A and B are shown apart, each in its own frame.
Chain A
Amino acid sequence: MIPEFGNFALVVALCFAVTQAIIPLLGTYRGNRTWIQMARPLALGQFFFLLFAYATLTYAFINNDFFVAYVAANSNTHLPLLYRITAVWGAHEGSMLLWTTILGVWTAAVAFFSRSLPEETTAQVLAILGLISFGFILFIITTSNPFATLLPNIPLQGRDLNPLLQDPGLAIHPPMLYMGYVGFSVAFAFAIAALLSGRLDAAWARWSRPWTIAAWCFLTLGITLGSWWSYRVLGWGGWWAWDPVENASFLPWLVGTALMHSLIVCEKRNAFKGWTVLLAIMAFSLSLFGTFLVRSGILTSVHAFALDPTRGVYMLLFLLIVVGCSLTLYAFRAHRIHSGGQFNALSRETFLLSNNVLLFIMMTTILLGTLYPLFIDAMHAGKISVGPPYFNAVFIPLSIPLFILLGIGPLMFWQKMPMKKIWQRIWLGLLITLVIGVVITVKILGHIHIMVIVGLTLAAWIIALTLIGLIQRIRQQGWRQSRNYYGMILAHLGVGVCIIGITVTSVYSIEKDVSMRPGNTAQVGQYQFTFMRTQPLIGPNYTGVTAVFTVKENGHYLTTLNAEKRLFPVQHMATTEAAIDAGLFRDLYISLGDPLRHGGWSLRLYYKPFVRWVWLGGLLMLFGGILALSDRRYKLAKRLATKTSSNQNVS
């Protein structure tokens, strides 16, 4: 019975989505208030049925209902409850359902938080979200239905969840990433609604901002969690590999970051409006593109589950329709966009514009590297792969000017700022940076590493200027700054922290592959790893071996670490559970390889300085975003409430 309920709920949600896409939009053209007002209930109805379908699938997983093909393929009676719940998004069909349900969440959130918006705007935004939702529900029903059944041969046992996905990090990584991806659909819907109605004003920017920041926060968290997961689970201690799937999440993040900044100019200075609309369209298109890349199975990757060509074709068509229609609309309406806001070459506007241009160029070069192998393959010109050296070669040179500008940007005035004033505000920061730069250079003299000098100097530059700006502002205006401002400070400090982490861990990590037997000791840096013994390991749905190590630092006992090798019998698959001694300034990391003859093991030992700073930076950016968000939403509700009441008074 359960799968029938799920199927039924999906079909009803599809009907709701169609109605939600058509009726309110027609209502705005014909001026029919009833039709316009239907947008909200329709959106909530659609959300309810999506949630119901999602809950149904979760229920089927919890009860191990192997009658459902998708459950049989991804669950097992020995799989722990937590992983049965997260297994819902463990493979293609379920993760598409998660995608769509999250779209439902955002739609419902728009319906809920938009009470202060003009009714027409709400109707248009919800209609566009309905249209996107329609495309995805149709995709699920026609090509990847998670409720398909296995009649008449119901298996007694399921094939289990991919062991790599049985990790707490993965329990939260995909939902967060999807919240980010899908969240850009709201900014997109606002942009399209503004183009449709021709009201591309400061109010539009003000409404779009909190939604964009919220989506950006989720995406930041999703990427950070993904990085942390791959560090822990994939067993090679890397936190970023320029894998196409990682790029797929990074591309919308870059454009989302640009969008977040250009919306500020739109709201405050009434400039860059055309460009901002284009960014909103691009951020969501790249999210769709990311979904296509990951879900269509055209990539060699951990994430490429689906190998069904109809899915790929459907998603590509959907992507082309969305991008094509929105760009056509943009082309027809672009001439109506009037940007006001005069500004000088030395102004905050210029810095924000440069930030946008640089982020955009970064995105293009990464997109190029990601698509190039696919393009060559499609042309039958051979099979190639583009690896990390390419991405590092383009990304690092582009990030240097970005970070230099990032330091100065927030210190600039709007419209214009004389060179003398700029100098007054940055000379101290420049001095501190130069001193730190010289100290670093002298300290590592002998083995000069250009990347360390450049990276740490840039980080010092960003952190010094951000803090100086903060101090100057507090001195002039007191502590009571907006949360928005403190959010910006925190996020920019996060960038600095992240740069320190990336620089130090990339350059000073020590990696050692060794073969060891119990009793042997290996030296890594100032640490001695002693292989004590192995012991058998029995988990709920796996067996394995635990290798016990003691770690000493210069002869003093530090800690005991247990590295595991797990064998999952159902999928005949082994996973490596690395043993990590985490610390703010260094991680020690043991990854178990294979058993060798005579009781030996191949092992990988790591000393990873400052690796936590990479994620710490990500978290600081996230908290900055949350802080800004808490500010904006408060202001938004209040300002709009007063605005509407004053409008009513006038009429």
Chain B
Amino acid sequence: MNPKRTKRLTFVLIIVIGMAIAVGLALYALNQNINLFYSPSQVVTGQAPKHHMFRIGGIVKPGTIHQIPHSLDVSFDVTDKVNQVEVKYKGILPDLFRAGQGIVVDGQLNHHGVFIASQVLAKHDATYMPPEVRAALKEAKHYKHIKSVGKIQ
């Protein structure tokens, strides 16, 4: 092989190795840092992970927002209009947070089935509905049946 070709091959090799390392790094990081999304109905029916961070999306159920006096602790229910999950959060809620607003919450379930939120997301304007929340509301009607069965028992 002539020197020019050798050099070219070296460069190609460097690029390929670099890309391989980057892709490996990226896939590893992806595996560690993915947040799965669940609707309140999925959480209630036990499909959500127990000891992992995940996201819930839905509507803040009117009349369930409770602020604990002299603290930043707040609790509220997130609903897909069929099932709801109780959420506890400590901190400042976003400006757009209010009853009836579509929101997404990051966090983890505790032993009592309460979702301990680390972040509450309510973005854009008052009429906007996050796509995940819209999908969750649409899916929720499939769970109506499950909920009613639960009640009979």
Q: Which residues of A contact B (CB under 8 A)?
A: 162, 164, 235, 298, 300-302, 304, 342, 345, 353-354, 357-358, 361, 364-365, 368-369, 372, 382-387, 389-390, 393-394, 397-398, 513-515, 571-576, 591, 593-594, 596-598, 600, 602-604
Complex partner residue of A596 from B10, B67, B91, B124, CB under 8 angstroms: B67
Complex partner residue of B126 from A384, A573, A597, A602, CB under 8 angstroms: A573
Determine if A390 and B93 form an interchain contact, defined as CB atoms under 8 angstroms apart.
no
Determine if B126 and A398 form an interchain contact, defined as CB atoms under 8 angstroms apart.
no
B37, B92, B96, B104: residue with the most chain A Cβ atoms closer than 10 Å: B92
- 8 A-B pairs closest in CB distance: A383-B37, A593-B92, A393-B29, A390-B33, A389-B33, A361-B22, A365-B26, A574-B95
Known contacts being A300-B131, A596-B69, is A385 close to B25, with CB within 8 Å?
no
Determine if A393 and B95 form an interchain contact, defined as CB atoms under 8 angstroms apart.
no
Complex partner residue of A235 from B18, B29, B67, B95, CB under 8 angstroms: B95
Determine if B18 and A387 form an interchain contact, defined as CB atoms under 8 angstroms apart.
no
B69, B125, B130: residue with the most chain A Cβ atoms closer than 10 Å: B125
Q: Does B132 contact A (CB under 8 A)?
A: yes
Q: Which residue of A lies closest to B131 (CB)?
A: A300
Chain B contact residue count (CB 8 A cutoff): 42
Determine if B14 and A389 form an interchain contact, defined as CB atoms under 8 angstroms apart.
no
Determine if B34 and A384 form an interchain contact, defined as CB atoms under 8 angstroms apart.
yes
A345 to B6, CA, bound (A): 11
Known contacts being A383-B36, A383-B135, A597-B69, is A389 close to B29, with CB within 8 Å?
yes
Given contacts A358-B18, A513-B92, list 7 more A-B pairs with CB under 8 A.
A300-B123, A382-B37, A387-B33, A393-B29, A394-B25, A397-B25, A604-B92
Q: Note all chain B residues with C-beta closer than 8 A to A342.
A: 4
Contact with A along B65-76 (1 / 0, CB 8 A): 001011110000
B120 to chain A, nearest CB (A): 11
A353 to B71, CA, bound (A): 56
Q: Does B9 contact A (CB under 8 A)?
A: no
Q: Note all chain A residues with C-beta closer than 8 A to B28.
A: 393
A–B Cβ pairs within 8 angstroms, 29 of them: A357-B18, A358-B18, A361-B18, A361-B19, A361-B22, A364-B22, A368-B26, A368-B30, A369-B26, A382-B36, A384-B37, A389-B32, A389-B33, A390-B29, A393-B25, A393-B29, A394-B22, A394-B26, A397-B25, A398-B22, A514-B72, A515-B71, A571-B125, A574-B96, A575-B95, A593-B93, A597-B67, A598-B69, A603-B92
A353 to B35, CA, bound (A): 36
Determine if B126 and A572 form an interchain contact, defined as CB atoms under 8 angstroms apart.
yes
A646 to chain B, nearest CB (A): 34
Q: Which residue of B lies closest to A597 (CB)?
A: B69
B116 to chain A, nearest CB (A): 16
A405 to chain B, nearest CB (A): 12
Complex partner residue of A393 from B33, B34, B71, CB under 8 angstroms: B33
A338 to B114, CA, bound (A): 65
Known contacts being A372-B30, A604-B92, is A300 close to B126, with CB within 8 Å?
no
B29, B71, B126: residue with the most chain A Cβ atoms closer than 10 Å: B29
A159 to chain B, nearest CB (A): 9
Determine if A602 and B132 form an interchain contact, defined as CB atoms under 8 angstroms apart.
no
Q: Does B44 contact A (CB under 8 A)?
A: no
A597 to B55, CA, bound (A): 30
Q: Which residue of A lies closest to B26 (CB)?
A: A365
Determine if B22 and A345 form an interchain contact, defined as CB atoms under 8 angstroms apart.
no
B54 to chain A, nearest CB (A): 9
Q: Which residue of A lies closest to B128 (CB)?
A: A304
Q: Which residue of A lies closest to B3 (CB)?
A: A342
Q: Does B144 contact A (CB under 8 A)?
A: no
Q: Which residue of B lies closest to A300 (CB)?
A: B130
Determine if A384 and B125 form an interchain contact, defined as CB atoms under 8 angstroms apart.
no
Known contacts being A383-B132, A384-B35, is A573 close to B95, with CB within 8 Å?
yes
Q: Which residue of B lies closest to A385 (CB)?
A: B35
Q: Which residue of A lies closest to B21 (CB)?
A: A361
Determine if B126 and A571 form an interchain contact, defined as CB atoms under 8 angstroms apart.
yes
Q: Does B7 contact A (CB under 8 A)?
A: yes
Complex partner residue of B29 from A394, A515, A575, A576, CB under 8 angstroms: A394
A594 to B25, CA, bound (A): 41
Q: Does B15 contact A (CB under 8 A)?
A: yes
Q: Which residue of A lies closest to B11 (CB)?
A: A353
Q: Note all chain A residues with C-beta closer than 8 A to B91.
A: 513
A394 to B93, CA, bound (A): 30
A398 to chain B, nearest CB (A): 7
Complex partner residue of A300 from B14, B34, B69, B132, CB under 8 angstroms: B132
B61 to chain A, nearest CB (A): 18
A4 to B123, CA, bound (A): 35
B41 to chain A, nearest CB (A): 14
A573 to B135, CA, bound (A): 24
A602 to B95, CA, bound (A): 12
Complex partner residue of B35 from A304, A357, A369, A387, CB under 8 angstroms: A387
B25 to chain A, nearest CB (A): 5
Complex partner residue of A602 from B7, B25, B92, CB under 8 angstroms: B92
Known contacts being A368-B26, A593-B93, A600-B70, is A386 close to B125, with CB within 8 Å?
no
Contact with A along B16-57 (1 / 0, CB 8 A): 001100110110111011111100000000000000000100
Determine if A386 and B33 form an interchain contact, defined as CB atoms under 8 angstroms apart.
yes
Q: Note all chain A residues with C-beta closer than 8 A to B124.
A: 162, 301-302, 304
B57 to chain A, nearest CB (A): 8
Determine if B26 and A357 form an interchain contact, defined as CB atoms under 8 angstroms apart.
no
B100 to chain A, nearest CB (A): 11
A229 to B121, CA, bound (A): 19
A384 to B131, CA, bound (A): 12
A513 to chain B, nearest CB (A): 5
Q: Note all chain B residues with C-beta closer than 8 A to A235.
A: 95
Q: Note all chain A residues with C-beta closer than 8 A to B55.
A: 385
Determine if A594 and B92 form an interchain contact, defined as CB atoms under 8 angstroms apart.
yes
Q: Note all chain B residues with C-beta closer than 8 A to A386.
A: 30, 33-35
A30 to B64, CA, bound (A): 74
B48 to chain A, nearest CB (A): 11
Q: Note all chain A residues with C-beta closer than 8 A to B7.
A: 345
Determine if B18 and A300 form an interchain contact, defined as CB atoms under 8 angstroms apart.
no
Q: Note all chain B residues with C-beta closer than 8 A to A384.
A: 34-37
Q: Note all chain A residues with C-beta closer than 8 A to B132.
A: 300, 383
Determine if B67 and A513 form an interchain contact, defined as CB atoms under 8 angstroms apart.
no
A594 to B95, CA, bound (A): 8
B35, B36, B69, B90: residue with the most chain A Cβ atoms closer than 10 Å: B35
A519 to B77, CA, bound (A): 34
Determine if A513 and B72 form an interchain contact, defined as CB atoms under 8 angstroms apart.
yes
Q: Note all chain A residues with C-beta closer than 8 A to B18.
A: 357-358, 361
